[in-house]
């Protein structure tokens, strides 16, 4: 009888957890297979990325990367870093279904089965474009550190690109 109650509690916990992950909308939470193909999708992923579940399951994560990042091997590099370290965190530009870009806070975590075999990766993404833009305009001194500081700061003007790097400085 105890085993049955234990199994019942485990099933309820699993269902509650699945409901929680499925309905979170501020975070994209999904699973990738060991090669980077999407195995699950939540409402947050749909909200942030713009793709409904039926359009992404089975597709590779490179779908969300800019062309230059794909050419540079970033998708596989991110998975390899997570595989090597157990987790990998980064920020960077990602692409939505409508081809617009957003600044993402991204965490990959390796997931293993009970026998220690790699199942894949949990991937959690948050769109931090708005908070990044606020930092950029309200804290310009912090961003100056990304510019060439070999010249005195004094009264200078600088133009920053979307990543906050100097394009021009006078």
Q: What are the pLDDT digits (tens) for 127-164?
A: 998 876 655 554 555 544 454 444 544 445 445 555 55
How does residue 5 score in pLDDT terms, banded at 50, 70 and 90?
A: low
Q: Which of 20-24, 67-71, 145-149 has the lowest mean pLDDT?
A: 145-149
| Distance in Å from the first CA to the final CA of the chain | 77
Beta-strand pair 87-95/101-112: antiparallel
Residue 155's domain comprises 139-169
Q: Phi and psi (nearest 5°) for 17?
A: -60, -45
The number of distinct structural domains making up the chain is: 2
Tokens 């596989």, residue located: 76
Residue 67 lies in a domain: yes
User: Model confidence over 24-39: pLDDT tens digits?
Assistant: 567 899 999 999 999 9
d(CA 104, CA 92): 5
Same domain, 46 and 81: yes
Residue 12 lies in a domain: no
Strands (E), 35-170: 87-95, 101-112, 118-127, 158-160, 166-169
CA 26 to chain centre: 12
Query: Do the Cβ atoms of 25 and 49 come closer than 8 Å?
Result: no
Residue 123 lies in a domain: yes
**Model-level pTM?**
0.69
């Amino acid at each position: 009888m105890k085993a049955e109650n234990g199994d019942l509690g485990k099933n309820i916990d699993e269902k509650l957890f699945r409901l929680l992950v499925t309905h979170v909308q501020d975070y994209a939470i999904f699973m990738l297979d060991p090669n980077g193909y999407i195995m699950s999708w939540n409402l947050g992923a749909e909200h942030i990325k713009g793709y409904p579940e039926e359009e992404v399951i089975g597709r590779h994560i490179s779908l969300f990367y800019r062309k230059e990042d794909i050419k540079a091997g970033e998708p596989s590099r991110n998975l390899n870093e997570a595989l090597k370290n157990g987790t990998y965190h980064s920020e960077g530009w990602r692409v939505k279904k409508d081809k617009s870009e957003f600044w993402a806070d991204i965490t990959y975590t390796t997931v293993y089965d009970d026998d220690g075999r790699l199942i894949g990766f949990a991937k959690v993404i948050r769109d931090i474009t708005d908070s990044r833009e606020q930092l950029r305009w309200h804290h310009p001194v912090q961003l100056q550190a990304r510019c060439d500081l070999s010249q005195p700061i004094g009264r200078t003007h600088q133009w920053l690109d979307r990543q906050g790097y100097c394009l021009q400085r006078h």
